[in-house]
């Protein structure tokens, strides 16, 4: 009976050590993977805009990205978090300030030019535009 307990505890320890090494290897692989964007850094490209929006209640946020994609939704949520207390109105451009987060800077510039806005600031593909007729 005592030998059975020793064998059981040995197997349990070996399984725990194996799982620990596997978790460590997965963590190292994720840290070295440069193709994924950590969710906590999605909002960093919006830093500094809160100074421009001081006293502004609502800002437009236009995107042509697929909002069924969790990464696109996370980007919008991080933008809202970084710019609080200013509210981002998704896909509405009638405001004085509008943020354009499109699939490419060229696509964003086409929309900005079509609407007659002035691009003011570009940061990692995010474009802040001024609407001279905005509310």
Q: How confident is the model at residue 112 (pLDDT cuts 50, 70, 90)?
A: very high
92 shares a domain with 68 = yes
φ, ψ for residue 35 (rounded to 5)?
Answer: -90, -20
118 shares a domain with 57 = yes
Q: Is 69 left (phi over 0), alpha (psi -120 to 50) or beta?
A: beta
Residue 29 has pLDDT above 70, yes or no: yes
pTM of structure = 0.67
Whether 135 maps to a domain, the answer reads no
Which of 103, 30, 92, 27 shows the shortest CA–CA distance to 65? 103
- H or E segment to which residue 123 belongs: strand 118-123
114 shares a domain with 99 = yes
Res 71: pLDDT: 85
Per the structure, the count of domains in the chain is: 2
74 shares a domain with 54 = yes
φ, ψ for residue 12 (rounded to 5)?
Answer: -65, -45
43 shares a domain with 31 = no
25 shares a domain with 90 = no
Peptide bond into 2 cis (omega under 30): no
108 shares a domain with 124 = yes
114 shares a domain with 66 = yes
Domain of residue 44: give its range.
39-130
Residue 34 has pLDDT above 70, yes or no: no
31 shares a domain with 46 = no
Count Cα atoms within 13 angstroms, Cβ side, for 9: 6
H runs (alpha helix) in the chain = 2-32, 49-52, 70-82, 105-115
51 shares a domain with 27 = no
Lowest mean pLDDT among 3-7, 9-13, 29-33: 29-33
Tokens matching residue 62? 């236009």
């Amino acid at each position: 009976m005592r030998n059975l307990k020793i064998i059981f505890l040995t197997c349990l320890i070996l399984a725990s050590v194996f799982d620990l090494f596997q978790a460590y290897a997965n963590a190292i692989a994720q840290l070295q993977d440069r193709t994924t964007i950590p969710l906590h850094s999605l909002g960093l490209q919006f830093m500094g805009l809160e100074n421009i929006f001081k006293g502004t209640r609502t800002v437009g946020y236009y995107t042509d990205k697929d909002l069924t994609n969790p990464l696109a939704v996370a980007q919008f949520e991080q933008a809202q978090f970084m710019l609080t207390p200013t509210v981002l109105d998704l896909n509405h451009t009638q405001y004085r300030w509008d943020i354009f987060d499109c699939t490419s800077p060229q696509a964003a510039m086409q929309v900005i030019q079509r609407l007659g806005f002035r691009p003011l600031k570009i940061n990692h593909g995010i474009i802040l535009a001024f609407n001279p007729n905005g509310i």
